[in-house]
């Protein structure tokens, strides 16, 4: 059963904002949060006083330890302090689903649809101070489930992805060389995104395949770069959006990861992840009342490159075990039939944990994506009616579908 | 829009430029990796009430896991749980049982850049997942002992037969590891 919003209350994107995303910034994260928020509000043709709801996926447990700025991740109390708000009526800060930047627009959509607020800001930061290694496990003791993994020198992030990636390669007869097709395309899209950390520098196949290994079969370019940057969107309801300059992307479906579909073991199995994500995809399509073949614009999480293949299969864009062949530039480039992660995703833009996908979905549906805007005169994709946006890795993710009309 | 000021990063592919901090130099001969032990262990496990039997078993050289006693379930849960993950029956008894310790290689990766402090002194090394013969979806983590492999996974084949072996850290702690099965 598709979501039934009250008449005139369909949630829709009306503005977006982004700071540059850079490996390190010298300045204050508070300044950048202010910059991205005000940019999004101005883009929506609104003022600070119009905003009455704030929705943030903050995930305060991630990232390096505090260093210098108030908080490493942008939480609501911090956001309240960096803009001169006057009319905030409601807010939610969630730390789950992990890496689920889609949780922000999901919460905003539900609050807007229910009439809890009228104009919602959704904002997300990445913050990585120099001199702090991202998510270092520095303790000399481990207990609980960690005691059954950390003792083997198994860390966080990409290591866990490497387990399922190796399994995928071996099971489906894929090669790590094929991943260059996705990674180079993400970096290519980043050349058209002025905020992306990789903007201005296109890597080559040789760069990719010869780069330093992190957790074989994964190399450094299979992992997104921790960056400093803030991205934001503003949402409102359909009736109010009529008075804004470029509304687009009406939220029609919402889903989150059904973790209960995977059970045993100290790390995720490929098969368990496929089970979970097939269920999320099924729930998302049912929620929106659309099918995979209806989706024009595809955004899936690429904090670690192997997830892209697995998500493309879960959402039904590529047959199971065949995304490694499908996910190549002739299919996924901006000019191709299935443009994917058009702002460069995490790998091209830098690690804002999926907020780049949310921001870019809003841009595309509002028609403000500039040189990346779809459909392109030279492109095989002829219409932009339905967009799917997923953020978060296997095991902890959320997603939404939105429509142009 | 803010324009890019100079190249965003330094030379490609170096740890200092791309990820921050210094890359650990490779300690092992990447073409001939072999470990008879992973000691000294840089991270010491601290048993807790819910997993004490696992660590007690390891000390005695036994792989002991928590098993649901519901006769229609009988699934092993690892890490241990308070309610069986499979049948969800809160009244089902969960008991610790010794397993065969026999399994096969499910997956692996070769760690070049560990985020676990102390393990920089060991890279590159394999982290493997083992599927126990008792229950296919019950994956255990391990390194691999007494087996030569190379740093691009040569010598490691998914499905290869493995058996549990226990790496003694001290009189109180032994750590589960796997090695190729002899027979």
Classified as helix, coil or strand, B124 is coil
Give A75 or A382, the one with higher predicted confidence: A382
pLDDT digits (tens, 9 = 90+) for A234-271: 999 999 999 999 999 999 999 998 888 777 788 889 99
Report how far residue A80's alpha carbon sits from residue A244's, in angstroms, rounded to the nearest whole number. Answer: 24
Arithmetic mean of pLDDT over chain B: 86
| B33: DSSP letter | B
- Looking at chain B, which residue has its C-alpha nearest residue A128? B20
Q: Do A220 and B2 touch (CB under 8 A)?
A: no
Chain A hits for B160, CB-CB cut-off 8 Å, are none
Please tell me the distance in Å from A207's CA to the nearest CA on chain B. Answer: 7
Report how far residue A99's alpha carbon sits from residue A351's, in angstroms, rounded to the nearest whole number. Answer: 10
The encoded tokens of residue B69 equal 């006693």
pLDDT on residue A73: 63
User: Is pLDDT at A68 greater than 70 in this prediction?
Assistant: no
Percent of chain B with pLDDT over 90: 66
Percent of chain A with pLDDT over 90: 72
Residue A90 has a CB neighbour count (10 Å cut-off) of 14
Mean pLDDT of B139-168: 96
What band does B71 get if pLDDT is binned at 50, 70 and 90?
very high
What band does A319 get if pLDDT is binned at 50, 70 and 90?
very high
Rounded (10°) CA dihedral A329, A332, A334, A336: 80
Report how far residue A246's alpha carbon sits from residue A244's, in angstroms, rounded to the nearest whole number. Answer: 6
Give B8 or B88, the one with higher predicted confidence: B88
User: Measured on CA atoms in the order B31, B32, B38, B39, is the torsion positive or negative?
Assistant: negative
Q: Token pair 């039934």 is at which residue? A: A4
Backbone angles phi, psi at A332, to 5 degrees: -105, -5
pLDDT on residue A219: 92
The residues near B25 (Cβ < 8 Å, ≥ 6 apart) are none
User: Is pLDDT at A284 greater than 90 in this prediction?
Assistant: yes
| A261: DSSP letter | G
Report how far residue B57's alpha carbon sits from residue B174's, in angstroms, rounded to the nearest whole number. Answer: 9
Distance of CA A311 to the CA centre of its chain: 13
Mean pLDDT of A197-208: 92
Whole-Å CA distances, A34 to A63, A335, A349, B2: 21, 35, 20, 15
Distance of CA A96 to the CA centre of its chain: 14
Please check whether residue B169 is in contact with residue B41, taking contact to mean a CB–CB distance below 8 angstroms: yes
- Looking at chain B, which residue has its C-alpha nearest residue A149? B141
Q: Do B129 and A220 touch (CB under 8 A)?
A: no
pLDDT digits (tens, 9 = 90+) for A118-162: 999 999 988 776 666 666 666 778 888 889 999 999 986 778 899
Mean pLDDT of A212-219: 92
Task: Choose the closest CB to B113 out of A145, A214, A225.
Answer: A214
Whole-Å CA distances, B80 to A34, A276, B65, B72: 45, 21, 8, 19
Task: Choose the closest CB to B127 out of A154, A203, A220.
Answer: A154
pLDDT on residue A318: 98
User: Measured on CA atoms in the order B70, B73, B79, B85, is the torsion positive or negative?
Assistant: negative
pLDDT on residue B18: 38
Report how far residue A390's alpha carbon sits from residue A385's, in angstroms, rounded to the nearest whole number. Answer: 17
Mean pLDDT of B78-89: 94
Distance of CA A186 to the CA centre of its chain: 13
Please check whether residue A231 is in contact with residue A359, taking contact to mean a CB–CB distance below 8 angstroms: yes
pLDDT on residue A141: 83
Mean pLDDT of B110-117: 85
| Three-state secondary structure of A346-404 | HHHHCECCCHHHHHHHHHHHHCCCHHHCCCCCCCCCCCCCEEEEEECCCCCCEEEEEEC
The encoded tokens of residue A32 equal 């950048």
The residues near A26 (Cβ < 8 Å, ≥ 6 apart) are none
Query: Which of A36, A140, A153 to substitute to test the interface with B, most B CBs within 10 Å?
Result: A153
Mean pLDDT of A8-31: 91
What band does B118 get if pLDDT is binned at 50, 70 and 90?
confident
pLDDT on residue A228: 86
Please tell me the distance in Å from B180's CA to the nearest CA on chain A. Answer: 17
Distance of CA B180 to the CA centre of its chain: 15
Please check whether residue B142 is in contact with residue B176, taking contact to mean a CB–CB distance below 8 angstroms: yes
Give B42 or A61, the one with higher predicted confidence: B42
The residues near A314 (Cβ < 8 Å, ≥ 6 apart) are A274, A277, A278, A280, A281
Q: Using alpha carbons, select from B181, B167, B170 the residue that is nearest to residue B36.
A: B167
The residues near B130 (Cβ < 8 Å, ≥ 6 apart) are B103, B104, B105, B106, B139, B140, B141, B142, B162, B178
User: Is pLDDT at B6 greater than 50 in this prediction?
Assistant: no
What band does B17 get if pLDDT is binned at 50, 70 and 90?
very low
pLDDT on residue A107: 95
pLDDT digits (tens, 9 = 90+) for A346-363: 999 998 989 999 999 999
Q: Largest Cα–Cα distance in chain B?
A: 67
A65 touches chain B (CB under 8 A): no
A272 touches chain B (CB under 8 A): yes
User: Is pLDDT at A108 greater than 90 in this prediction?
Assistant: yes
A164 touches chain B (CB under 8 A): yes
Q: Token pair 């999901």 is at which residue? A: A106
Mean pLDDT of A77-104: 86
Please check whether residue A247 is in contact with residue A12, taking contact to mean a CB–CB distance below 8 angstroms: yes
Chain A hits for B50, CB-CB cut-off 8 Å, are 144
Q: Which of A176-180, A181-185, B23-27, B98-102 has the lowest mean pLDDT?
A: B23-27
pLDDT on residue A75: 80
Task: Choose the closest CB to B137 out of A22, A212, A269.
Answer: A269
pLDDT on residue B145: 97
pLDDT on residue B42: 82
Query: Which of B14, B38, B43 to substitute to test the interface with A, most A CBs within 10 Å?
Result: B43
């Amino acid at each position: 059963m598709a979501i039934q919003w009250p008449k005139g209350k369909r949630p829709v994107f009306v503005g977006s904002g982004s700071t540059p995303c850079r490996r390190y910034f010298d300045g204050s994260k508070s300044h950048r949060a202010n910059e991205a928020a005000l940019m999004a509000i101005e883009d929506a043709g609104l003022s600070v006083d119009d905003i009455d709801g704030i929705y943030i996926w903050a995930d305060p447990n991630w990232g390096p330890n505090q260093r210098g700025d108030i908080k490493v991740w942008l939480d609501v109390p911090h956001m309240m302090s960096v803009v001169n708000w006057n009319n905030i009526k409601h807010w939610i800060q969630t730390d789950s689903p992990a890496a689920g930047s889609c949780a922000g627009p999901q919460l905003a959509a539900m609050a807007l649809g229910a009439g809890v607020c009228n104009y919602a800001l959704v904002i997300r930061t990445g913050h990585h101070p120099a001199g702090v290694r991202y998510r270092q496990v520095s303790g000399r003791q481990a207990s609980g489930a960690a005691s059954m993994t950390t003792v083997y020198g198994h860390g966080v992030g990409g290591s866990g992805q490497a387990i399922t990636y190796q399994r995928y390669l071996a099971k489906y007869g894929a090669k790590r060389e094929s991943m260059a097709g996705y990674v180079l395309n993400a970096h290519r899209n980043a050349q058209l995104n002025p905020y992306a950390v990789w903007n201005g520098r296109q890597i080559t196949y040789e760069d990719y395949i010869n780069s330093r290994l992190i957790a074989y079969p994964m190399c450094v370019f299979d992992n997104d770069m921790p960056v400093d940057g803030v991205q934001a969107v503003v949402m409102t309801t359909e009736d109010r959006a009529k008075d804004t300059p470029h509304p687009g992307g009406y939220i029609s479906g919402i889903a989150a990861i059904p973790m209960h579909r995977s059970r045993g073991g100290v790390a995720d199995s490929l098969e368990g992840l496929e089970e979970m994500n097939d269920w999320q995809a099924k729930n998302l399509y049912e929620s929106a009342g659309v099918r995979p073949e209806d989706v024009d614009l595809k955004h899936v999480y690429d904090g670690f490159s192997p997830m892209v293949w697995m998500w493309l299969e879960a959402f039904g864009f590529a047959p199971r075990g065949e995304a490694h062949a499908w996910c190549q530039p002739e299919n996924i480039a901006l000019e191709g039939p299935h443009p994917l992660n058009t702002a460069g995703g995490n790998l091209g833009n830098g690690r804002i944990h999926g907020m780049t996908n949310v921001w870019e979905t809003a841009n595309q549906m509002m028609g403000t994506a500039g040189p990346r805007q779809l459909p392109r005169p030279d492109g095989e994709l002829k219409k932009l009616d339905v967009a799917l946006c997923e953020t978060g890795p296997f095991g902890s993710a959320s997603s939404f579908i939105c429509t142009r009309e | 829009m803010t324009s890019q000021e100079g190249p965003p990063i330094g030379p490609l592919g170096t740890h200092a430029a791309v990820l921050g901090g210094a890359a650990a130099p490779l300690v092992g001969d990447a073409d001939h990796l072999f470990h008879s032990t992973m000691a000294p262990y840089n991270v010491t496990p601290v048993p807790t009430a819910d997993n004490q039997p696992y660590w007690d078993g390891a000390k005695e050289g036994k792989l002991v896991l928590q098993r649901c006693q519901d006769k229609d379930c009988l699934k092993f849960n690892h890490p241990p749980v308070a309610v069986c993950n499979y049948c969800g029956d809160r009244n089902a008894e969960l008991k610790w049982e010794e397993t065969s310790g026999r399994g096969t290689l499910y997956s692996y990766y070769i760690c070049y850049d560990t985020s676990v402090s102390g393990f920089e002194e060991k890279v590159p090394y394999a982290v493997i997942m083992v599927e126990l013969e008792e229950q296919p979806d019950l994956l255990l983590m391990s390194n691999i002992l007494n087996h030569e492999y190379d740093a691009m996974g040569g010598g490691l084949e998914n499905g290869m037969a493995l058996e549990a072996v226990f790496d003694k850290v001290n009189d109180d702690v032994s750590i589960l590891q796997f090695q190729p099965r002899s027979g």
